[in-house]
Structure 1
Amino acid sequence: MLFAIFWLAGELIHLMVLAIIAAAVMSILLSFGVVNHRSQFVNTVADFLDRVTNPVLNPIRRHIPAFGNVDISPVIAILLLQALQFVLSDIYGRLVMAGLGF
């Protein structure tokens, strides 16, 4: 049971990292006009990615100023999520070594 909880937390963090990367790529593609922003499919995907990633990115954007037109909040969010994943992995490893991992 404990393994399943830590596995699920790790997978959710991994999915959030992938969503942040996809949102950043979609933003770049939209800003350079590579994809048509008038397409309903593109708007649906962009809206979904914004709704998924904004709860993670908005607190970072409030505390970190923008560097011109460059938004570094996705990079910071990915680094923080990876650090959280390492911490969870360490906690699980310590629980297993203590004999509580079942």
Structure 2
Amino acid sequence: MLLDIYSFILFSWLILSWLIGFNIVNRYNQVVYSIITALNKIVSPPLNFIKKYVPSFYEVDIAPFLLLILIHFVKYTIYYYAK
């Protein structure tokens, strides 16, 4: 359950950062700024750890996708052995 919540938070951060990057959402809006700041505090530590070991490919950061894969791998491993 906690891994699902964290996956949702990571996915929300990813979508919001894309919307900010494509200039669809204004990051100087106070609500958007507070949301992205809170999401960054939650998501940044594991992403920074992954970014130390995995380089970006052609300016595309694959760390969030690797983190999602890792979360789902851990979730299904726990589910498999908890049966």
Q: TM-score, normalized by length of structure 1?
A: 0.77
Partner of 2:12: 22
**Runs (5+) with no aligned partner, structure 2:** none
1:15-55 residue CA offsets vs partner (Å, 9 max, x unmatched)? 11111111111111111110111101000000111111112
Quote the offset at 1:56 in angstroms: 1.8
Partner of 1:45: 35
**Runs (5+) with no aligned partner, structure 1:** 1-10, 94-102
Quote the offset at 1:69 in angstroms: 2.0
Considering Cα pairs closer than 8 Å and 6+ residues apart, tell me whether 1 or 2 has the greater RCO: 1
Query: Would you say 1:81 and 2:68 are equivalent positions?
Result: no
1:40-94 residue CA offsets vs partner (Å, 9 max, x unmatched)? 100000011111111221111111001132111111000000000011111211x
When Rg is computed on C-alpha atoms for both structures, the one with the higher figure is 1
Partner of 1:3: none
55, 62, 68: which is aligned to 1:72? Answer: 62
Q: TM-score, normalized by length of structure 2?
A: 0.94
CA distance in 2, matches of 1:41, 1:14: 25
What is the root-mean-square deviation of aligned Cα atoms in Å? 0.9
Q: Secondary structure at the match of 2:55?
A: coil
Give the number of equivalent residue pairs: 83
